[in-house]
């Protein structure tokens, strides 16, 4: 499973617990994995160190069974389209009857 660069979202500082809290998203071939993570540090901590610690915590937590995380399936580039109905000589008439509320055979 290959992973792209992690994205940190919803970064907040919890003053009561003196820690940073964030939702880290990993984009994989199987979809997105979002992991809730924390890092104990003072409010004036170096942002680069906080970012590294949060991503590290999320990497550890993505496989832990007791961590809060979510898996989202990848988006479909194009949804499958229904097969078109075969065209017959009466196809236009049948469509016209359906539009005016009649039942076409």
Burial of 92 (0-12, 13-18, 19+ CB in 10 A): exposed
Count of Cβ atoms closer than 10 Å to residue 34 Cβ: 18
Local structure of 71: helix, strand or coil: strand
What's the rounded Cα separation, in Å, for the pair 32 and 25?
A: 7
Pairing relation of β-strands 7-14 and 19-28?
antiparallel
46 lies in some domain: yes
Residue range(s) defining the domain that contains residue 55: 7-72
Q: What is the pLDDT of residues 73-94, one digit of tens each?
A: 776 654 455 666 667 777 677 7
pLDDT value, residue 85: 66
40 lies in some domain: yes
Number of domains observed in the structure of the chain: 1
pLDDT value, residue 10: 87
What's the rounded Cα separation, in Å, for the pair 99 and 102?
A: 7
91 lies in some domain: no
pLDDT value, residue 11: 93
Q: Are 19 and 39 in contact (CB under 8 A)?
A: yes
Q: What is the pLDDT of residues 20-35, one digit of tens each?
A: 999 999 888 778 889 9
Q: What is the pLDDT of residues 17-76, one digit of tens each?
A: 999 999 999 888 778 889 999 999 999 999 999 999 999 999 888 777 888 878 887 766
99 lies in some domain: no
78 lies in some domain: no
What's the rounded Cα separation, in Å, for the pair 98 and 11?
A: 55
């Amino acid at each position: 499973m290959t992973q792209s660069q992690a994205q940190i979202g919803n970064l907040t500082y919890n003053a009561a617990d003196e820690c940073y809290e964030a939702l880290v998203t990993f984009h994989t071939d199987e979809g997105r994995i979002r992991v809730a993570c924390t890092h104990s540090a003072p409010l004036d901590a170096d942002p680069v160190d906080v970012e590294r610690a949060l991503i590290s915590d999320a990497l550890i937590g993505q496989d832990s069974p007791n961590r809060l995380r979510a898996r989202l399936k990848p988006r479909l580039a194009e949804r499958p389209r229904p097969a078109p109905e075969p065209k017959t000589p009466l196809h236009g008439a049948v469509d016209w009857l359906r539009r005016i509320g009649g039942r076409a055979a």
